[in-house]
Structure 1
């Protein structure tokens, strides 16, 4: 049987998800669907490699007995970066024995077996198929539907890429279906791409302290593949942490599907309260932490608060200082925060001043409205670095004592009534502007030279920032406000209380 196309797989599996709606909560049906997708993938990828190996061995003239020995040698699979799947965890074996032994029981046992035989998956896969609250009829229907999806290679994509595309499709759709709760683990793809395109993580350590399902870490790996080829994926070492147990498991599966050997710590945990990578110094930090966290583990004696103790009712500047604490001497960080962070008063203003005077703020980007389906709070990007010097052989432009401001609020295009995406041209312009300002190798190769552009970008020295009392809203510096034609569109909310909550979050 030939491999299914990604579109066919998506249609099959979204139909499977529909079967669970209303019968289990959203977090549980993610485990059902994505867990089954993962098991089906590892089984199909195993069978695909097994068939390829059998053909090669037969062409070499080996006897059937000798071929049989090689086909059950785990090193033949792990050496090719294929998960080892024992017979009782293989999809065809489960299908053949499901009616007699019970599909839920066999699926849970298969998950156990795959985790036991593959160290990188230890404690990751869901065992939810044989529980009392799981209808075995539903489980059997899901199993049969997913059996119709073959995660094999297509003419232009290997099996791993086919599944990774499907997995990302489902993460996106689950986030859309779940609203705000879903947004806790999902960052819009265009925002992720913008961050990675600006940072250019060609090599070194990449870290996400609020990694969700691992989207930023995956995009960093894709950046390496796009610019250096699949053989260069090992040029970056990937680290992350996630506070939610279920989301941590999804991230582990997501990274494994993409062939990324990531260190997400032995278990989940709250980064601000329990840093799982205390000694890490990263070359690139990327984070989309929860906006305006009011309930967080605040410890005034924490060594990370080098520029001031963050206020009790908002963790924005805790996340910023955590990112700085993780940077190597020449590292760069990107943090997505609510717009209030660039001009908030009182304690946060003092911390912001200290960070500017320490020359940590490289660039501020004001994002367009409605990029985040799950909140109407306007957002911005903070780019932080410890070293704005030319950095020797890198021959960067000397940007010490300056900060780049980019106002991208007028960019993007609406994909539906409530959601906007940054276009390819938008991504290229924003990233290209930063690279030209910094004088990176990519800008030099493209002959890009930085110039201030009224209404879009401005390079300000620290004296100018002082004049603005350390407020870092790009609109204050670029010279022209947001045109009326691209003001954020009104979106119906759940009532005045919700609107006041968002407004309070913006200006707090």
Structure 2
């Protein structure tokens, strides 16, 4: 086993190679189901060994002392260590299952259910040979703290999440938001020390970790943040929890569950509220639980019942209800949420009348996985600054992209430009408009961005006279060319 310090590049290559070992029997969309738990299992085992050896040296070789739970971040029971699995040559999947369940059981408070529900013992998909190859591959490096610090491991983990998103494109939208979009939301949200952050559709935890990075970048103590997330998908919610631990984050709560039907976080008088709420919820969710919304027991029906076949405005209302008295939120939605009529139109009207909406930002097309549609970012605040009351900032950032072959990209320069427009909060021809509430009322509370930002198209067309002059010139040139062609042709006849 290599015990030298790993570089990020080595770590990324090491993780990518693990996916190649699975390729064939396992569909690319399922790679994450197997690779993330194995990586976390290896990390836990190697860190346990480090802690054990340190306690052993401090106690003059007292094995019983070095095994005490208080010296270990996570306990690893007998026969559930990585080396036990590595020594297994038959029924390897069963040995992995036993080890993962054993670790979950002795660390129930933190790790219950964290390894997901992968069918490790399914030999049709995962033969002993394949699993031995995978275990041997992961065994190349020691993933303890001395070799890999949490930041680097966390970054490599994020790389792997993106790598799998690239491999599975269409399905990736369920668990992965492009990090440039996440960074934009983090800049706008601007979390600070001691604040609580909540993502009701947290996927693999990228938005919560962006808030951590935001504090690190501003040289604030990120360990004072309180992170909360809920995610319906079992694999994604497990990965989110592993992601937090691998980044060295301790103070977080991530629960699996259907946020709109059964929200996970409560206080004595109802839903728990937070300083910052951030999300990229599933677009236009069909079966979202409309039947319970009219008499929602959690008091989230603050502006009306969204359509049965579209949950966009249910997410918005849930998030608004989850803001505390000084709370703020950023949410990614499809453009349709800005202008659809009927029930959604009434909800929009109520939210605008309550003066909760601060900004509408239209993003470029085809920057999200699995959809070519353009999306928008809505910014809400429980208490808008006095200078921003009774108005909404509209930003048309549809051309702030780098066009790619299969997908477009929001680059750092684009993110900075959009955030600059947001921060300045003033009109910019073709791009930004500060609209008054009366402007919005005139448009029947329709928030479609072109209603507020008219693009000035500069046509560089010539005048009629110039066009006729050019045509005459071209005609004469073509006559000369024809004459020359006929002359040459005669020589060959």
Per the normalisation by structure 1, the TM-score is 0.81
Q: CA RMSD in A?
A: 2.4
- Secondary structure at 1:240's aligned position in 2? strand
1 CA distance for matches of 2:320 and 2:456?
A: 30
Structure 2 residue aligned with 1:140: 132
The within-5 A match list for 1:451-470 is 451-470=426-445
1 CA distance for matches of 2:34 and 2:120?
A: 7
The within-5 A match list for 1:105-504 is 105-118=94-107, 119-126=109-116, 128-133=119-124, 134-152=126-144, 158-202=148-192, 203-229=194-220, 232-260=221-249, 261-265=251-255, 268-278=256-266, 279-298=271-290, 299=292, 300-302=294-296, 303-389=299-385, 398-414=387-403, 416-437=404-425, 451-480=426-455
Structure 2 residue aligned with 1:74: 69
- Secondary structure at 2:47's aligned position in 1? helix
Confirm or deny: 8 A CA contact 2:195 2:275 kept in the other structure.
yes
1 CA distance for matches of 2:345 and 2:438?
A: 16
Change in CA separation of 1:476 and 1:52 when aligned onto 2, cut-off 3 Å: farther
1 CA distance for matches of 2:457 and 2:337?
A: 19
2 CA distance for matches of 1:48 and 1:483?
A: 66
Structure 1: gaps spanning 5 or more residues: 391-397, 438-450, 485-508
- Secondary structure at 2:405's aligned position in 1? coil
Structure 2 residue aligned with 1:393: none
Q: Deviations 1:97-138 (Å, cap 9, x if unpaired)?
A: 323x75333322221232123221111114633344431111
Confirm or deny: 8 A CA contact 1:291 1:337 kept in the other structure.
yes
Q: Displacement, 1:304?
A: 1.5
Please say which structure displays the higher CA radius of gyration. 2
| Deviating more after overlay: 347-356 vs 421-430 | 421-430
Q: Displacement, 1:339?
A: 0.6
1 CA distance for matches of 2:34 and 2:43?
A: 14
Q: Displacement, 1:195?
A: 0.3
Confirm or deny: 8 A CA contact 2:171 2:369 kept in the other structure.
no
Q: Displacement, 1:252?
A: 1.6
2 CA distance for matches of 1:223 and 1:325?
A: 24
Structure 1 residue aligned with 2:83: 92
1 CA distance for matches of 2:306 and 2:418?
A: 30
Structure 2: gaps spanning 5 or more residues: 460-493
Q: Displacement, 1:212?
A: 0.9
2 CA distance for matches of 1:53 and 1:433?
A: 55
Confirm or deny: 8 A CA contact 1:457 1:478 kept in the other structure.
yes
Structure 2 residue aligned with 1:501: none
Q: Displacement, 1:32?
A: 1.3
Q: Displacement, 1:179?
A: 2.4
2 CA distance for matches of 1:483 and 1:6?
A: 48
Confirm or deny: 8 A CA contact 2:201 2:280 kept in the other structure.
yes
Q: Deviations 1:427-479 (Å, cap 9, x if unpaired)?
A: 22322333344xxxxxxxxxxxxx32112222222111112221223333234
Q: Displacement, 1:290?
A: 1.2
Confirm or deny: 8 A CA contact 1:152 1:162 kept in the other structure.
no
Q: Displacement, 1:147?
A: 1.0
Per the normalisation by structure 2, the TM-score is 0.83
1 CA distance for matches of 2:100 and 2:458?
A: 54
Confirm or deny: 8 A CA contact 1:186 1:212 kept in the other structure.
yes
Confirm or deny: 8 A CA contact 1:310 1:317 kept in the other structure.
yes
Structure 2 residue aligned with 1:448: none
1 CA distance for matches of 2:248 and 2:451?
A: 44
Confirm or deny: 8 A CA contact 1:362 1:403 kept in the other structure.
yes
1 CA distance for matches of 2:286 and 2:71?
A: 51
